[in-house]
C-alpha cells in the first residue's frame, strides 16, 4: 500500500523557519506526513535565565582548546516546532 492511497486524517498549516513561507502538511492515520520536513522541538528560554546560566560556567580543557561549559541548562518556558519547506531542505 502506498502513502498516497492512505486516507488523510488532517491538514496542518505550518511556517517554514528558513524562508517564512506557509507549508501545508498532510497527516495520515499511520502518523506519516507529506509536504514538509520536521526536525523536532526547540526549547525557548527567557533572556534573563540564559544570562544567569552563562555566568555560572566552568572552564574545561579539550586538547589544547579551553571551553566554557554551563553548569546547568536554563529551564525552557515553552517549545517551538522546527519545520522546513521542501525548497529550503
**Residue 71 and residue 53: Cα distance in Å, rounded?**
7
pLDDT tens for 27-72 read: 888 888 999 999 999 999 999 999 999 898 999 999 999 999 999 8
CA–CA distance, 45 with 52 (Å, rounded to integer): 11
In the prediction, which pLDDT does 19 show? 93
Give yes or no for residue 1 having a pLDDT over 60.
no
Residue 10 to residue 33: CA distance in whole angstroms = 10
Amino acid at each position: 500500500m502506498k502513502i498516497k492511497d492512505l486516507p488523510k486524517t488532517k491538514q496542518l498549516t505550518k511556517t517554514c523557519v528558513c524562508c517564512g513561507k506557509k507549508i501545508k502538511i498532510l497527516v495520515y492515520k499511520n502518523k506519516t506526513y507529506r509536504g514538509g520536513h520536521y526536525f523536532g522541538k526547540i526549547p525557548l528560554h527567557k533572556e534573563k535565565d540564559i544570562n544567569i546560566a552563562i555566568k555560572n560556567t566552568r572552564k574545561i580543557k579539550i586538547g589544547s582548546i579551553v571551553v566554557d561549559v554551563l553548569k546547568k541548562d536554563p529551564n525552557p518556558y515553552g517549545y517551538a516546532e522546527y519545520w522546513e519547506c521542501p525548497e529550503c531542505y
